[in-house]
């Protein structure tokens, strides 16, 4: 079992819901955090709160779709704290819409998902994760660090109508832990550095609170525990995945019993 005390977490999307909550959890358990986000003001606010509570924090405002920014983030962790033990690429966005939307009266397609909305989600949720993980993993190996890469999938990875962009990126997050674990296994490193994904249902963060509220009410009717998942509950799951070194190469769902899959 690993302990969080003195362990270094690199968290992207650290100014937002789950990323910020994970940073809080990590610091409360004695860890150090390196946070990045496109929102510089949000980042400073979260870092200020963590430091006020005695947390050791480094920040870098940056976009995860930039190769240079991801390299700088991983370097910052090594330069500041000398190691990386947890990589949590939480930066992500949604840009929902139907692939094609036929008008209910005429039957003719009047709207379709724009290439811009498709690519924006692919760039941040997939390419941004690839770059963050690649740069951090390189340094974890070169500095002989032990720890976990925890990717952010979603129940949307099973296929949610209106999210062909988002669901596709989250399905990719389910397979990446298997690829990364297999590659590390080939080099005898899979016991030292593990990779998993978590797949939350609907978590009470700005991402979900910004959704169409009628749609959200309908969704909550399908959640047996009758409420949104708390960001703190997600952070706690990641803490357990970090500590328990038997957990590797798979996706762990946290959704309050949500009925899974698109129902048309």
Which SS3 state, helix, strand or coil, does residue 43 take? Answer: helix
Backbone angles phi, psi at 109, to 5 degrees: -70, 125
Residue whose C-beta lies closest to ligand NAD: 16
Q: Annotate each residue in 195-224 with x if it binds ligand NAD (CB under 6 A) or - if it does not, as one string.
A: -----x-xx-xxxx----------------
Contact with ligand NAD (CB under 6 A) among 55, 128, 147, 256: 128
Which SS3 state, helix, strand or coil, does residue 2 take? Answer: coil
Which SS3 state, helix, strand or coil, does residue 132 take? Answer: helix
Determine contact, residues 13/89, Cβ cutoff 8 Å: yes
Contact with ligand NAD (CB under 6 A) among 26, 34, 37, 77: 37
Applying CB under 6 A, the site for ligand NAD has a residue count of 29
Distance CA 103, CA 208 (A): 27
Contact with ligand NAD (CB under 6 A) among 18, 84, 121, 180: 18
Give the DSSP H/E element, type plus range, for residue 11: strand 8-12
Contact with ligand NAD (CB under 6 A) among 9, 11, 19, 194: 19
Contact with ligand NAD (CB under 6 A) among 4, 16, 193, 196: 16
Contact with ligand NAD (CB under 6 A) among 30, 56, 63, 134: 63
Most distant CA atoms of the chain, gap in Å:
62
Locate 67 and state its tokens: 């190769």
Determine contact, residues 84/78, Cβ cutoff 8 Å: yes
Q: Annotate each residue in 85-114 with x if it binds ligand NAD (CB under 6 A) or - if it does not, as one string.
A: -----xxxx---------------------
Which SS3 state, helix, strand or coil, does residue 259 take? Answer: coil
Residues that bind ligand NAD (CB under 6 A): 12-13, 15-19, 37-39, 42, 63-65, 90-93, 124, 128, 152, 154, 200, 202-203, 205-208
């Amino acid at each position: 079992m690993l302990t969080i005390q003195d362990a270094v977490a690199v968290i992207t999307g650290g100014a937002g819901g789950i990323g910020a909550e994970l940073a809080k959890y990590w610091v409360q358990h004695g860890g150090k955090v390196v946070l990045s986000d496109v929102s510089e003001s949000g980042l400073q606010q979260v870092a200020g709160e963590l430091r006020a509570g005695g947390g050791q924090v480094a920040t870098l405002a940056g976009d995860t779709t930039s190769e240079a920014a991801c390299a700088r983030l991983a370097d910052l962790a090594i330069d500041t704290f000398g190691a990386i033990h947890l990589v949590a690429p939480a930066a992500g966005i949604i840009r929902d819409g139907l692939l094609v939307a036929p008008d209910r009266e005429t039957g003719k397609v009047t709207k379709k998902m724009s290439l811009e909305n498709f690519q924006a989600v692919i760039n941040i949720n997939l390419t941004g994760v690839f770059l963050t993980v690649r740069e951090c993993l390189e340094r974890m190996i070169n500095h002989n660090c032990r720890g976990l890469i925890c990717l952010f999938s979603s129940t949307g990875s099973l296929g949610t109508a209106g999210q062909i962009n988002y669901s596709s990126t989250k399905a990719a997050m389910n397979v990446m832990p298997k690829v990364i674990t297999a590659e590390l296994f080939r080099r005898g490193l899979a016991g030292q550095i593990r990779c998993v994904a978590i797949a939350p249902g609907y978590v009470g963060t700005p991402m979900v609170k910004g959704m169409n509220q009628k749609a959200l009410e309908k969704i909550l009717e399908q959640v047996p525990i009758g409420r949104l998942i708390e960001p703190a509950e997600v952070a706690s799951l990641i803490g357990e995945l970090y500590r328990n070194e038997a957990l590797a190469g798979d996706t762990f769902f946290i959704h309050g019993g949500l009925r899974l899959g698109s129902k048309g």
